């Protein structure tokens, strides 16, 4: 079985060492490269063709950040590579900009191994992943003041768990399979579907899937 290949783009050597040590112990995952220089990320992506890039946000290079690098990589590689942003920033506008840029996951740097592995496997499955820490971005909130995004951010009406249910349903899995994957009961899955349909003002899975596609969440 092909291993999930990882490229680490991070400006702190200790962070790179920690991520490598953590991931290299995981069956089915391999770190194929790393760099502390943001400007090397694109060329390494072309050379190594990783499945997933773990991308820092802050870099010492002038006028460079993880989102800008991600945009450049995705413009050339498209959906063949998934990018997870590793950061402790939790500004609404910043997270929304990451999503709109095509970044598939958003994970804090102090996340547990289990959370990071789950994020990697989720984005490889072409689903969107936000760590529990960032649950609040999926709920309405006062408009933030941020210099990062030029326009007002849009908020998603679904909670993280509801989005999990919706994106897994998109893959065609049954109610039973969704319950098994998320370790919840069948009744809980039904409750999530009921809430999703109400929030999105749709009548069925087809309407929900159309919304996911329009939002570019799948």
**What CATH number has the domain bearing residue 205?**
1.10.10.10
Consecutive H or E run containing 29: strand 29-35
Got the DSSP string for 120-156?
HHHHHTT--EE-GGGGGGGS--PPP--SS-SSPPP--
Least confident of 19-28, 96-105, 134-143, 179-188: 134-143
Task: Assess if residue 23 is contained within a domain.
Answer: yes
CA distances for 98 relative to 72, 140, 207, angstroms: 13, 18, 25
Task: Report if pTM > 0.75.
Answer: no
What is the 8-class DSSP label of residue 58?
Answer: B
Percent of the chain whose pLDDT exceeds 70:
88
Looking at residue 134, its pLDDT comes to 67
**The dihedral of CA 196, 214, 138, 171: what is its sign?**
positive
Looking at residue 71, its pLDDT comes to 92
In the chain, the number of structural domains is 2
Looking at residue 83, its pLDDT comes to 96
Looking at residue 20, its pLDDT comes to 94
Looking at residue 140, its pLDDT comes to 41
Distance CA 7, CA 163 (A): 27
The CATH number covering residue 122 comes to: 3.40.50.2300
Residue 87 bridge partners (DSSP) = none
Strands 129-130 and 29-35: unpaired
Q: Are residues 29 and 113 in the same domain?
A: yes
More confident call, 218 vs 192: 192
Q: Are residues 124 and 182 in the same domain?
A: no
Looking at residue 88, its pLDDT comes to 79
Does 143 score more than 60 pLDDT? no
Q: 24-38, 125-139, 144-158 — which one is most confidently predicted on average?
A: 24-38
More confident call, 12 vs 156: 12
Domain boundary among 106, 138, 170: 138
Consecutive H or E run containing 6: strand 4-9
Looking at residue 136, its pLDDT comes to 55
Average pLDDT over residues 50-71: 90
Find the length of the chain.
218
Average pLDDT over residues 19-43: 93
Task: Assess if residue 146 is contained within a domain.
Answer: no
Around Cβ 153, how many Cβ atoms within 10 Å? 20
Q: Are residues 131 and 182 in the same domain?
A: no
Q: Are residues 102 and 180 in the same domain?
A: no
Q: Which domain holds residue 121?
A: 4-138
Does 95 score more than 70 pLDDT? yes
Average pLDDT over residues 50-72: 91
Least confident of 15-24, 115-124, 131-140: 131-140
Q: Are residues 125 and 23 in the same domain?
A: yes
Task: Assess if residue 199 is contained within a domain.
Answer: yes
Looking at residue 30, its pLDDT comes to 95
Q: Are residues 22 and 122 in the same domain?
A: yes
Q: Are residues 71 and 121 in the same domain?
A: yes
Domain boundary among 108, 138, 168: 138
Looking at residue 135, its pLDDT comes to 61
Q: Are residues 121 and 184 in the same domain?
A: no
Q: Are residues 187 and 92 in the same domain?
A: no
Task: Assess if residue 151 is contained within a domain.
Answer: no
Looking at residue 164, its pLDDT comes to 84
Residue 31 has, within 13 A of its CA and on its CB side, a CA count of 18
Distance CA 39, CA 19 (A): 20
Provide φ and ψ at 213, rounded to 5°. Answer: -65, -45
Task: Assess if residue 204 is contained within a domain.
Answer: yes
Average pLDDT over residues 175-180: 88
Average pLDDT over residues 39-66: 92
């Amino acid at each position: 079985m092909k291993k999930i290949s990882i490229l680490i783009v991070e400006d702190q050597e200790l962070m790179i060492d920690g991520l490598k040590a953590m991931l290299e112990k995981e069956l089915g995952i391999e770190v194929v490269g790393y760099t502390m220089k943001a400007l090397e990320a694109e060329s390494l992506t072309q050379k190594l063709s990783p499945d997933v890039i773990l991308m820092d946000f802050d870099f010492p290079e002038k006028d460079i950040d993880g989102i800008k690098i991600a945009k450049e990589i995705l413009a050339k590689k498209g959906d063949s590579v998934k990018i997870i942003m590793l950061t402790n920033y939790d500004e609404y506008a910043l997270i929304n900009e990451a999503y709109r840029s095509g970044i598939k996951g958003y994970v804090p740097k102090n996340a547990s191994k289990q959370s990071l592995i789950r994020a990697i496997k989720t984005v490889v499955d072409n689903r969107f992943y936000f760590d529990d820490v960032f649950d609040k971005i999926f709920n309405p909130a006062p408009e933030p003041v941020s210099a990062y995004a030029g326009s007002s951010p849009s908020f998603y009406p679904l909670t993280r768990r509801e989005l999990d249910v919706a994106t897994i349903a998109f893959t065609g899995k049954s109610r039973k399979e969704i319950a098994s994957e998320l370790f919840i009961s069948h009744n809980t899955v039904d409750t999530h579907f009921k809430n999703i349909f109400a929030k999105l003002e749709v009548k069925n899975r087809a309407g929900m899937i159309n919304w996911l596609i329009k939002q570019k969440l799948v």
